Amino acid sequence: MLYILEDAINGILMGSIYGLAALGLTLIFGVLKVINFAHGSLLMVSMYVAYWTITLSGLHPYVALVIVVPIMFVFGYFLQDIVIKPIFKAEKNVREPITVIIVTTGVWYILDNLTLLIFGPQYRTLQDNPLRGKMLEIGEFMLSVPKLWGFGAAVLTTLAVYLFLQKTDTGRAIRATSLDREAASLMGINAYKIYNLAFGIGTATAGVAAVTLVPFNNVFPTVGVLFDIKCFIIVVLGGLGSIGGALLGGIIIGLIESIAPQFMAATWAEAIVYGLFLLVLFVKPAGLFGVKNDW
Amino acid sequence: MSFLDVRNIDVSYGDVQVIFDLSLKIEEGEVVSIIGGNGSGKSTLLRTISGLMQAESGEISFIGKPIHKMPPEDIVEAGLIHVPEGRRLFSLMTVLDNLIIGAHNSRARGKAKVAETLAKVYELLPRLQERQNQMALTLSGGEQQMVAIGRGLMAQPKLLMLDEPSLGLAPILIKSIFETVRKIANQGTTVLLVEQDVKHSLSLSDRGYVLEHGRIALEGPASQLLNDPHIKTAYLGI
Ligand SMILES: Nc1ncnc2c1ncn2[C@@H]1O[C@H](COP(=O)(O)OP(=O)(O)O)[C@@H](O)[C@H]1O
Ligand SMILES: [Mg+2]
């Protein structure tokens, strides 16, 4: 019984990091109404940025946030502004422009291959990092210290994004644009600027996720692919566009991944994840925690 | 030059032209109605003025500045505010948030200014204050229209364009919506009112245009239009 509890807690910790990784995907979808297929690649780029920042500066991984997050914000902001926005403008009268999805797929391929070209296929592990392999012993429990940090980062980041959207003028403008782009433009809101911001913030949250991951997860050019499908499932589970839903969806996946293998083969655990995904799509397509047309 | 000056515009959806060589003028302080049946092109005209659509030819100027090439947000900055057909509220946001969003433009923004405009809007539409923390989608149709108008006022319009504010409302609410429009005009805002409710809208207007199949069929002082035999038979059913 204790084992299961320990697995459950570690599952929640890891799941919250999945949720953090998925946060940007759900935010960008909520505002732009397109699935960003490059999200995993943005996470991968973030992990390289985090890896090199920490390695070259010798900073504590979480101190490196102050460098990684702004870099990724700017990266996402201009990726949308320079690469994606022109497509939106060309397809201005299309409600859900499929060409934008194709472009994000292109971005995925380009980023992954560019990284392979520049850094090679090898796996990189953060050296001398104060969090590496650390375990916290509480009574009978062994908890992973870097994942505990990750949990804290996930909860705080989710809360910060939520409050930003609810309480600030810019956040309000982002919500308005996501609900009705045309009506928002009649309020004087420049939708393309809002798209840039949403993409920047979404990519910045991937930057936070990357910092939580590099202390215990290898960095390599296709690392984003591992998270891609997971993020997508989480976002559908939690409700496309739902900020809190991403965190909760991530925790559900984390729990299934950590507990199910106690009772069945690991491949079956994966089958449960996909089964749940399909079930939600059939029964409650707005997601477990999403409102229809969530913000 | 007029306050709003629309000169010879043609507007199409793809291959289908719906506005033909249309011109109209509005002077500062006026209340002008555009009346016309379903599909006559009223909403298309407003959408073109507010920059949601582009005219294929012709020019539009507002307070002396050409606006027909501007994006909607720049036209809002200039003070021309469009309250669209069907209210188009931000459904999952509160009434208060909807109103505050109305004040997004740089002329209306700022904590003190927003508080001041909000107080005025609440004075005009006290119902909104009672409902301020409710989600917009939980309101009745009449209340939603009030939010839409209030949101437009929050933008501090120099010219307020209203697209069928009475659409789908019960007669008693229609009356109160038109009274509100009259009050807004009395406070000095120039109003362009698009309506199918010919009698009510002409009664509170200075002038009117009749739009038929994308062309101005008739124009003149509102009192004259109300007595026009064509309008009487075609729109008032007398
Ligand atoms: N999105 C659209 N695509 C194609 N045709 C449209 C569209 N919207 C309106 N129309 C057509 O344009 C004409 C004018 O419509 P509209 O401006 O909405 O009229 P009104 O507001 O007077 O009812 C109608 O014939 C309508 O069918
Ligand atoms: Mg209409």
What interface predicted TM-score (ipTM) does this complex get? 0.95
Question: Residues B58-66: what's their mean pLDDT?
Answer: 97
B25 and B7 inside one domain: yes
Full-model pTM: 0.94
Between residues A263 and B184, the one the model is more confident about: B184
B164 and B237 inside one domain: yes
The pLDDT value recorded for residue A294 is 45
The pLDDT value recorded for residue A291 is 67
Nearest-Cα residue of chain A relative to residue B73: A188
First to last CA, chain B: 38
The Cα–Cα gap between A93 and A129 comes to 50
- Residue B155 to residue A294, Cβ atoms within 8 A: no
Nearest-Cα residue of chain A relative to residue B110: A169
B164 and B238 inside one domain: yes
Number of residues written out for chain A: 295
- Residue A172 to residue B102, Cβ atoms within 8 A: no
Name the domain boundary from B99, B131, B156. B156
Query: Is residue A190 predicted with pLDDT exceeding 80?
Result: yes
The pLDDT value recorded for residue A289 is 82
Query: Is residue A96 predicted with pLDDT exceeding 80?
Result: no
The pLDDT value recorded for residue A295 is 41
A76-90 pLDDT tens trace: 999 999 999 999 988
Q: Mean pLDDT check: name the lowest of A100-109, A176-185, A283-292.
A: A283-292
pLDDT tier at A164 (50, 70, 90 boundaries)? very high
Question: Residues A262-274: what's their mean pLDDT?
Answer: 87
B111 and B173 inside one domain: no
C-beta neighbour count of A53 within 10 angstroms: 23
Question: Residues B84-89: what's their mean pLDDT?
Answer: 96
**B20 and B10 Cβ atoms separated by less than 8 Å:** yes
Question: Residues B153-157: what's their mean pLDDT?
Answer: 98
Kindly report the backbone phi and psi dihedral angles of residue B106, in degrees, each rounded to the nearest multiple of 5, phi listed first. Answer: -70, -20
A212-247 pLDDT tens trace: 999 999 999 999 998 999 999 999 999 989 999 999
**A31 and A195 Cβ atoms separated by less than 8 Å:** yes
DSSP string, A227-285: HHHHHHHHHHHH-TT-HHHHHHHHHHHHHHHHHGGGTS-HHHHHHHHHHHHHHHHHH-T
Whole-number mean pLDDT of chain A? 93
Residues of B in contact with A293 (CB under 8 A): 91-92
Q: At what angle do helices B141-154 and B95-102 cross, to 10 degrees?
A: 30
| Structural domain range at position B141 | 87-156
Query: Is residue A293 predicted with pLDDT exceeding 60?
Result: no
- Please give the distance, rounded to the nearest whole angstrom, from the Cα atom of residue B41 to the centre of ligand 1: 6
The pLDDT value recorded for residue A132 is 83
- Residue A184 to residue B97, Cβ atoms within 8 A: no
Q: Mean pLDDT check: name the lowest of A283-292, B76-85, B153-162, B169-178.
A: A283-292
B179 and B218 inside one domain: yes
- Please give the distance, rounded to the nearest whole angstrom, from the Cα atom of residue A56 to the centre of ligand 2: 62
B101 and B190 inside one domain: no
B192 and B148 inside one domain: no
- CATH number, domain containing residue B46: 3.40.50.300
DSSP string, chain B: --SEEEEEEEEEETTEEEEEEEEEEE-TT-EEEEE--TTSSHHHHHHHHTTSS--SEEEEEETTEE-TTS-HHHHHHHTEEEE-TT----TTSBHHHHHHHHT-STTT-SHHHHHHHHHHHHHH-HHHHHTTTSBGGGS-HHHHHHHHHHHHHHT--SEEEEE-TTTT--HHHHHHHHHHHHHHHHTT-EEEEEES-HHHHHHT-SEEEEEETTEEEEEEEHHHHHT-HHHHHHTS--
- Please give the distance, rounded to the nearest whole angstrom, from the Cα atom of residue B152 to the centre of ligand 2: 18
B42 and B8 inside one domain: yes
The pLDDT value recorded for residue A264 is 86
Query: Is residue A253 predicted with pLDDT exceeding 50?
Result: yes
B8 and B109 inside one domain: no
- Please give the distance, rounded to the nearest whole angstrom, from the Cα atom of residue A3 to the centre of ligand 1: 65
A27-72 pLDDT tens trace: 999 999 989 999 999 999 999 999 999 999 999 999 999 999 999 9
Distance from CA of A236 to the nearest CA of B (A): 20
Question: Residues A9-25: what's their mean pLDDT?
Answer: 97
**B205 and B32 Cβ atoms separated by less than 8 Å:** yes
B124 and B93 inside one domain: yes
**A201 and A73 Cβ atoms separated by less than 8 Å:** yes
Name the domain boundary from B156, B179, B199. B156
**Best A170, A186, A242 residue to mutate vs chain B (most B CBs within 10 Å):** A186
**Per-domain residue ranges of chain A:** 2-223
**Minimum CA distance residue for ligand 1 atom 2:** B13
C-beta neighbour count of A66 within 10 angstroms: 10
| A222 CB-near residues (< 8 Å, 6+ apart) | A44, A112
The Cα–Cα gap between B228 and A254 comes to 73
The pLDDT value recorded for residue A292 is 57
pLDDT tier at B123 (50, 70, 90 boundaries)? very high
Name the domain boundary from B126, B156, B186. B156
B152 and B92 inside one domain: yes
pLDDT tier at A140 (50, 70, 90 boundaries)? confident
How many domains is chain B partitioned into structurally? 2
- Residue A179 to residue B76, Cβ atoms within 8 A: no
The answer, yes or no, to whether any atom of ligand 1 lies below 6 A from the CB of B200, is no
What is residue A136's three-state secondary structure?
A: strand
B119 and B168 inside one domain: no
pLDDT tier at B15 (50, 70, 90 boundaries)? very high
